[in-house]
Structure 1
Amino acid sequence: MTVEQPAEESVAAPARDWFQSAVVYQIYPRSFADSNGDGIGDLRGIISRLDYLHRLGVDVVWLSPIYTSPQDDNGYDISDYRNVDPIFGTLEDLRELTDGLHARGMKLVMDLVVNHTSDEHPWFVESRSSTDNPKRDWYWWRPPREAAADGTGAGPGAAPNNWGSAFSGPAWEFDQATGEYYLHIFSRKQPDLNWENPQVRAAVYEMMNWWLDRGVDGFRMDVINFISKNTALPDGPIAAGMLHGDGSPFYIGGPRIHEFLQEMHREVFAGRPGPLLTVGEMPGVTVDEAVLFTDPERAEVDMVFQFEHVALDQEDGNKWRPKKLKLTDLKKTLGHWQTGLAERGWNSLYWGNHDQARAVSRFGDDGQYRELSAKMLAGILHLHRGTPYVYQGEELGMTNMTFGTISDYRDIEVLNHHREATTHLGHTDAEVLAALAPLNRDNARTPVQWDASRHAGFTTGSPWIAVNPNANHINAAAQVEDPDSVYSFYRKVIELRHTEPLVSHGDFTMLLPRDEHVYAFVRSLPDTRLLVLGNFSGQDQEVTLDDADVPLAWGSAELVLGNYPAEAAPRLHLRPWELKVLRAGAARPDR
């Protein structure tokens, strides 16, 4: 395999129409469906629910990691890239799942985690065995740092730099056997691979080709913009109240990131019969950078996951300091991404995933107006330009969980933060638990609520994490046959994307940018326009549109989708958490 080719070589990309009109469904396997009663979801559980997914209408299923893993970070710490962890099943089960999806016209996307491995991966076991092992340079090893000549800086034996881990604590772990530190941006059991080494890249590409040869249809690439790092590894700035430096300027979007992704495309995807899907999860990515990553002429990735909109309800991007979301900020951010990727590139659309709190609790009203706001959020998101993602349970309007004590949590990010905040930062247990509640990742990881039986039909055993008590009335069994349910509304929204070309290909125009209650935009093609209105409040709202911005008589337009029973209400009046989607021709009125 050749991995040293020119970085800017242009490779023709396949037709993109298929994923522009597609909808992706994310499965977090350990919480989806358990087939054997051990309390952990598995592949056979997913297989048993394929008809449910097919009925929903989704086109692609993305699986969070199912590879062999010590499960320090719920599978994002991989010890064998070419096998299925026994808690999830076998390679034969995965083959049956892949075949079952393909038979129903759906595709399978696997999670690709190659910024780091588990410390139990054979590559790392070899790497840490001695300083002269051939795989030593497969990871980021550095000797302890000495004090500066003028006596300033770290003392002898200190870590190579001051970076903090994303999971609290330092980003360096000292290895007693060899007397050096290794870098781990995440858990200490997740050492970072050194992509500067061409052997590492060749091994990764070989593994990816192995999976595609087995019928996988693409990859969602975990923190893929972290793989190129500033090799000088300089110290990062330390914010007030923090113990460690912020190294992200030196490992997010590093100097060789485009080179590496273009090389990956050449070695893995170029020339393969498609269609395939590549999605880059890219914390910190900007609109301008995303244009480069997703421009089909550059042949890097098809779309990115960006995080701007899910940081708007946090003080200074700190998820443990939540604040009230302003709708104007949300419109400004999402509108900027719509405009920025309008000419080139493509965007992913999502409210939630395995790393985010439940959408209806975060952006809607999970109390009195839970169903209405869940439906409104679906319509607003899916009618933007981009490929929408549905996170498991979102189509049922599942809500955040209430965790009473720290022992109820399972997420390493939460447990590490609680320990550091109570031990080193002087916060009380009550203070930390209150800060954790709104945005912690375990909110999204409680089991899917299939019915009102014990453990919500997720397992016959004891679930690995508690089931939300509201499963007795929020569950799939109560919704699948109900034409007015959240699930049925998702089916309608997905069908509209499949059948209305302007949803995939039309222009996007944001309206009412300063309105703090109404989210409004127009999608348009030369012969058709859709006006999308969403009320993000529990009060009635009258919508006033500027005719200069919207040269159409929307008051008499056709209502093509709504979350209230149809009635002869004024078209531009919105009830609490109401969604209205209106269709009109594109003819401009005489002036």
Structure 2
Amino acid sequence: MKIFNPLIISAAFLLLGSNYSCAQNSLPHKDSLDRKWWKEAVVYQLYPRSFNDVDGDGIGDLKGIIAKLDYIKSLGVDAVWLNPIYGSPNDDNGYDVSDYRDIMKDFGTMADFDAMLKGMHARGIKLVMDLVVNHSSDEHEWFKKSRSSRNSPYREYYHWWNAEKGKPPYRYSLFDVNHDAWRYDSLTNAYYLHYFSRKQPDLNWENPKLRQEVYDIMKFWGDKGIDGFRLDAFQFAAKDTTFPAFPNGFEKNFTQYYGMQGNLHGYLQEMNQQVLSKYNVMSVAEGAGNTFEDAHNLVDADRNELNMAYAFEAVDIAKPDGYSVLHLKQIFTKWDSAFAAKGWLSIFLANHDQARLVTRFGNDSPEFRAVSSKMLTTFLMTMRGTPYYYNGDELGMTNAGFSKAEDYRDVQTLNEYQRQKNLGTDMQKYLQRMSFESRDNSRTPFQWNNSKNAGFSTGKPWIAVNPNYTTINVAAQEKDGNSTLNYFRKVVKLRKDNLALVYGKYTLLDGQNADTYSYTRELDGKKLLVLLNFTSNVATTNTGVDFSKANVLLGNYPQSSKNGTLKPYEAVVYELK
């Protein structure tokens, strides 16, 4: 994917003037830093279904993770964020939980989990669990009992609307074929709410009994010794249970209406008081609300809620026809400015809900895949905030190249395919869009070597392996000192060796340059300069830096630029004397 010439959005930078006040404060000093392990960590997101399959059933498993712990350790990362492994009928790849205290049979047993956690801790790797409690599976015992009778003590564990009141006010479902978040259930003549799949009914956080159930689940895993929780879709958990009508077209910006509603902050403070503060765990929310104020209310230390959140504004800008580098800079700069003095955020551009990093934000052509992948890695590891890095991106894994509906497994993609077909859409165009956007692009099996199925499984993989595994794989890249894998290890080490890249002041340079992203990071008298070319052309920066006083610390070309003129997708980190 090539980045097209961006739209000129210099006005956006002018609007940022007031936001820069935080970034222009006095330089931080290392002795005054509020140092936390989760601020200094590099978090590696691991998608268990596609990572490594030991038993040959075509599905990754916990024993497969155990077998690759030394590989994970070799990356230099500090923590693994593990996507859901709980008991689940697997409607949404584990994000539909039927038993929060058990392990999905596809993945193994609780004994396997205990061995995996022990193995991680023995290698100095922390484990962050995905906590999916905006909704459960419709096969969870709570929901079975909830739908059994209007008088069930579990009725208020979910959101029900009795049919005699008429059809409930429209709510938008992200995964439903008709995007209708209310599903009629004839057993009690009522509708239940599901913001996602119909098999993922939303939990009623307004019910204190439900909240205690969740806290007890968290304590169960905390007592096992895990190191953190990632709260899936949690900005949507609280609802206005009067369910007022929303204006027409609200679904175009549904987060504004779904996010940060009701007493969400009260619930998080209660969670913190009962669970998070009792265990030495980190906590991160998926989503940061609708405003900087929302985000600060989630993560500021004096709020006693969560440690950090991650916002989607930047990750959402990548489109099949390209994106604006100016826009990317504007987003990251304003978020850094808003959190320069207080609070903490995550840094990411890819995860299990996005297509592959290098396809969306770099260039996955054979000529530029490796160098643009390294450039993006440099960016993620040199910004302020905790970097989250998705498994396989260290190899420069690309989108899958799926061309038929039969290639996909994702409930969201398949339901939307059916919806578009019902609407009479040009399905070839839809499939072309999905080849760029679908979540399944990031869920293809991890590419270990050039043997059958990329060394992922001896059986038929649950989803097809990317055909480029014969050249893009761990075994090949381990032997190549200039590979994207070995570059990832170098840039992780660079971050760990330089606290300025974690806590240092961020200052944007050459802000109106439509091709490059340049900034400095400064801490305690140490000043680092980062230059990134986001295009396939030679680009010149205008930073005002005297390069005779700049020492190259790391670059993604054998010979790094020493004059501010950057080769295609070049990345260089300097120390300024």
- Give the alignment's TM-score, normalised by structure 2: 0.91
Q: 1:559 aligns with which of 552, 562, 565?
A: 552
Q: How far apart are the structure 1 equivalents of 2:256 and 2:559?
A: 51
Instruction: State the Cα distance separating 1:257 from its structure 2 match.
Output: 1.1
* One-letter amino acid matched to 1:329: H
The range that moved more, 553-562 or 396-405, is 553-562
Structure 2 partner of 1:294: 299
Report Cα offsets for 1:13-69 as digits up to 9, x if no partner: x96421221100011100000000000000000000000010110000111000000
What percent of counterpart residues are identical? 45
Report Cα offsets for 1:460-503 as digits up to 9, x if no partner: 00000000000000000011232111011111111111111111
Does residue 186 in structure 1 map to residue 196 in structure 2?
Answer: yes
Q: How far apart are the structure 2 equivalents of 1:323 and 1:135?
A: 48
Structure 2 partner of 1:437: 435
Q: 1:270 aligns with which of 263, 268, 277?
A: 277
Q: How far apart are the structure 2 equivalents of 1:524 and 1:248?
A: 35
SS in 2 for 1:438: helix
SS in 1 for 2:129: strand
Structure 2 partner of 1:68: 87
Q: How far apart are the structure 1 equivalents of 2:483 and 2:194?
A: 44
Larger RCO: 1 or 2 (CA < 8 Å, sep 6+): 2
SS in 2 for 1:478: helix
Aligned pairs (5 A) from 1:134-153: 134-144=153-163
Structure 2 partner of 1:260: 267
Q: 2:100 aligns with which of 81, 86, 90?
A: 81
SS in 2 for 1:263: helix
Instruction: State the Cα distance separating 1:249 from its structure 2 match.
Output: 3.6
Instruction: State the Cα distance separating 1:247 from its structure 2 match.
Output: 5.2
Structure 2 partner of 1:165: 173
* One-letter amino acid matched to 1:187: S
Q: How far apart are the structure 1 equivalents of 2:407 and 2:91?
A: 17
- Contact 1:217–1:277 (Cα < 8 Å) also in 2: yes
Aligned pairs (5 A) from 1:49-60: 49-60=68-79
Instruction: State the Cα distance separating 1:313 from its structure 2 match.
Output: 3.0
- Contact 1:237–1:246 (Cα < 8 Å) also in 2: no
Gaps of 5+ in 1: 1-13, 147-156, 315-321, 586-591
SS in 2 for 1:488: helix
- Contact 1:281–1:306 (Cα < 8 Å) also in 2: yes
Report Cα offsets for 1:334-390 as digits up to 9, x if no partner: 111111111111111111100001010111011111110000100011100001111
- Contact 1:22–1:58 (Cα < 8 Å) also in 2: yes
SS in 2 for 1:297: helix
* One-letter amino acid matched to 1:553: D
Q: How far apart are the structure 1 equivalents of 2:401 and 2:158?
A: 39
* One-letter amino acid matched to 2:230: R
- Contact 2:169–2:245 (Cα < 8 Å) also in 1: yes
- Contact 2:510–2:518 (Cα < 8 Å) also in 1: yes
* One-letter amino acid matched to 1:81: Y
Q: How far apart are the structure 2 equivalents of 1:238 and 1:463?
A: 43
* One-letter amino acid matched to 1:377: L
SS in 1 for 2:273: helix
Structure 1 partner of 2:566: 574
Report Cα offsets for 1:291-317 as digits up to 9, x if no partner: 221111112111112100122235xxx
Structure 2 partner of 1:324: 322
SS in 2 for 1:209: helix
- Contact 1:236–1:247 (Cα < 8 Å) also in 2: no
Q: Tell me the C-alpha RMSD between the 2 structures.
A: 1.6
* One-letter amino acid matched to 1:566: Q
Structure 1 partner of 2:413: 414
* One-letter amino acid matched to 2:576: A
* One-letter amino acid matched to 1:418: Y
Q: How far apart are the structure 1 equivalents of 2:142 and 2:252?
A: 28
SS in 2 for 1:270: helix
Gaps of 5+ in 2: 1-32
Q: How far apart are the structure 1 equivalents of 2:446 and 2:531?
A: 30
Aligned pairs (5 A) from 1:11-50: 16-50=35-69
Instruction: State the Cα distance separating 1:220 from its structure 2 match.
Output: 0.7
Instruction: State the Cα distance separating 1:144 from its structure 2 match.
Output: 2.6
SS in 2 for 1:362: helix
* One-letter amino acid matched to 1:302: N
Which has more helix, going by share of residues? 2
Does residue 359 in structure 1 map to residue 357 in structure 2?
Answer: yes
Q: How far apart are the structure 2 equivalents of 1:463 and 1:235?
A: 45
Report Cα offsets for 1:395-431 as digits up to 9, x if no partner: 00000111121011000000011111110x3202212
* One-letter amino acid matched to 2:313: E
Q: How far apart are the structure 2 equivalents of 1:446 and 1:238?
A: 38
* One-letter amino acid matched to 2:507: T
SS in 2 for 1:477: helix
SS in 1 for 2:275: helix
- Contact 2:513–2:541 (Cα < 8 Å) also in 1: no
Q: How far apart are the structure 2 equivalents of 1:463 and 1:221?
A: 29
- Contact 1:119–1:191 (Cα < 8 Å) also in 2: yes
Instruction: State the Cα distance separating 1:250 from its structure 2 match.
Output: 3.6
Aligned pairs (5 A) from 1:300-379: 300-313=305-318, 322-367=320-365, 368-379=367-378
Q: How far apart are the structure 1 equivalents of 2:409 and 2:246?
A: 30
- Contact 2:403–2:435 (Cα < 8 Å) also in 1: no
